[in-house]
Each structure stands twice: as C-alpha cells, then as structure tokens.
Amino acid sequence: MLPKQIDPIQLADTKKSLKGELPLSEMDRLKDLIYGNAGTVLIDFKFGRDILKFPYVRGSIKTGFEVICQRCNSPMSLTLNIAVEVSPIRNDEEAELLPKNYDPLLLAGDTVELMPMVEEEILLSIPLVPKHSLNECNVKSSTFVECKDEKDKKNPFDELKKLLRE
C-alpha cells in the first residue's frame, strides 16, 4: 500500500523507491474527464540525488481510461505512459537553480501528497482536445463545412482608403 504523503527529500537521501497502484476514482479533478469505469494508475518512482546533489524523483506513471472524443462525441481509449523527472523545491529561488532536465515539485513543508502529485502529472499529459485519429473517428470528413476563402471577403476599410485619397 502506498503512503498518502511522502517526504521526497528524505526518500532521496535514503535512495528509496515506491511502486504500486492508485485508484483513478479517487482523483477528483480527473473524475469529470473520465468516461465510464475508472481504472488504476501504476506508479514506479525512484528517489535519489544527482551528481550536483539535487534530490530527484524519477520514474513512470502508467494508466489507461476512456474519454470522449471531441470530434465525434464517442468514447475513446486513452493510454498514458508518463516519464517523471522532478526535483522537490520549497520556493521560487530554488526552482531557478534547478537543472533544465528537472520539473520543479513544490513542497508545502517537507512533504507532498502522493495522489494529487500523480493526478497533476496525468492532467498535464492528457491531450487538450482528445480525439480519435481520422480513420478511427465516427465523423466523416464530408460532414465538415468548407470555409470560404478569405480573399473573396471585402475589406470594409477599402472604401475608407478611397475616400482618404480624394
């Protein structure tokens, strides 16, 4: 069983790892995006310090669930395999010092809640507009409307230009 809160700096100092499952159904911000039954999230995190002594959390988050395609309004499967490489920080000054390969993980005190941390990574990995590929989508390309060329559109300021020249 995974802990609710972790101290990533202490885990980094002791070179620990966390591996386990979290239920998607308990991730409040994800609930509205998921269609149908929510599954689980598999996490595999390793903690340590790099050559420059920055603490890190490296690993993966794997999950899959259904969302609604924004093109055809049908359910579609979404599988996420997220690579995680973060470094815990306490303030903006520490974030400025981080090497570019790390994303900052802001701590409130010494600990961070594991579930919201994982949920945030999932939310950042979901496409902004989830949709099937064109050949899998239920909407045919013939249902799309052709846009008129912008060239055919008259510019209302053309008349003003003529008046100014006179």
pLDDT at 157: 79
pLDDT at 40: 93
Element (H, E) at 68: strand 55-68
- Least confident range from 25-29, 47-51, 58-62, 136-140: namely 136-140
pLDDT tens digits, 142-156: 566 666 666 667 777
User: Mean pLDDT over residues 44-70, rounded?
Assistant: 95
pLDDT at 42: 97
Checking if the pLDDT of 139 tops 70, the result is: yes
pLDDT tens digits, 72-123: 999 999 999 999 999 999 999 989 999 999 999 999 888 999 999 999 999 9
pLDDT tens digits, 36-51: 877 899 999 999 999 9
Q: Give the residue, 138 or 3, on which the prediction is more confident.
A: 3
pTM: 0.79
Q: How far apart are CA 38 and CA 33, in angstroms?
A: 10
Q: How far apart are CA 22 and CA 30, in angstroms?
A: 13
Question: Which pairs from 69-74 meet CB under 8 Å and 24+ separation?
Answer: 69/130, 69/131, 69/132, 69/137, 69/138, 70/129, 70/130, 70/131, 71/131, 71/132, 71/137, 71/139, 72/131, 72/132, 72/137, 72/138, 72/139, 74/132, 74/137, 74/138
